[in-house]
Structure 1
């Protein structure tokens, strides 16, 4: 290959790349995401929208309790935390017995989480959903 042919071959990509860069693109620009002044409030708004009947996370006690704790920690979600806590109180026995109320078997994880939710939501853990969560937790320590 002659030197002039080599030089031409080496320089050929330059105008091709320059031309490609100057051509108008067909892709449209995506809309910019909305400004999030308060990410915690944005997250709480989304989480509240996921609650079934505005009270619980599809019947999942643990997730509902996690959401209530998150709402309390960030000071977001308004009365959604109260509604979630009301639902947890109404279904507390089902949660701590894993769906087998009256079995005598109480699970400490759910029990402790409910006691924490009750406390952070300014409810009485010794009378939450008709249960004395504090006494039940103390009994678990003895087991």
Structure 2
């Protein structure tokens, strides 16, 4: 009976050690989900602005994904950049549209001395600057992107 307890204890210890990465990442993910602050910011963006912002966000995502503790949060940061890349694509493929006024969801998470802030979704296009004139936007971003291509 004593040998069975020792063997089961060792198997349990090996299982915990094998999944330590997942356990730690899940604990940090739980903290992230319960302590993140999501706000909405209205910004006027150009192609260069969104290109630089998404580049920096993907860089942060790569750094976070390479860590044990923040790997799941890094996935979320990358997903947010991928969602917001529609604006980059639109501005790159439509020469008449020079700027967009968008309402973006911004997520901020503070963990000790580390603060992570990123665009966390698609957002909403409010106005389009086309040929130097600002116009309200009430349509679909997907239709506008198809029109640009």
TM-score (norm 2): 0.26
More helix by share: 1
Larger Rg: 1
More strand by share: 2
Higher relative contact order (CA 8 A, sep 6+): 2
